Amino acid sequence: MRMIYVSHPYGGLKENEESADAITGKLAKIFPDMVFVSPIHAVRSDYKMTPYKQGLLQTIEILKRSDAIFMSPGWRKSTGCITEEKYARHRKIAILHNGAEVMDWYWHRIKNFQEKIIRRF
């Protein structure tokens, strides 16, 4: 099963947490064969009490283990999201911006997997 990191602006705001939850939930319903991880929900620390760099390093640790990153609307206005996108680009982690790109990426991965299996026989 593939894991997709969901990058979303946060800033400690409840409305951003709820938006990230809605996006992650919608993606999970559309693509039940993938795991969508929101660092807003996965990293449980007090946003205001955790030094920014420490919190960002925690989210990057999750991103390292992901197969792709989904960039939520508004990501270009978020320092954290921009950093995650740059990290993904540097590590050659697939960067996805909408459901169509998720679908294309998913089917490309399946096709490559099937071709490897066929070559073995």
- Sequence-distant (6+) residues with CB within 8 A of 87 are 60, 63, 93
Domains and CATH numbers, the chain: 2-120 (3.40.50.450)
Query: Tens of pLDDT along 48-97?
Result: 777 888 889 999 999 999 999 999 999 999 999 999 999 999 999 999 99
Which band of pLDDT confidence, cut at 50, 70 and 90, is reported for residue 47?
low
How much is the pLDDT for 43?
75
How far is the C-alpha of 96 from the C-alpha of 55, rounded, in Å? 23
Q: Tell me the residue type at 71.
A: M
pTM given for the model = 0.86
Reduced to 3 states, what is the DSSP secondary structure of residue 103?
helix
The DSSP H or E segment spanning 37 is strand 34-37
Query: Tens of pLDDT along 62-71?
Result: 999 999 999 9
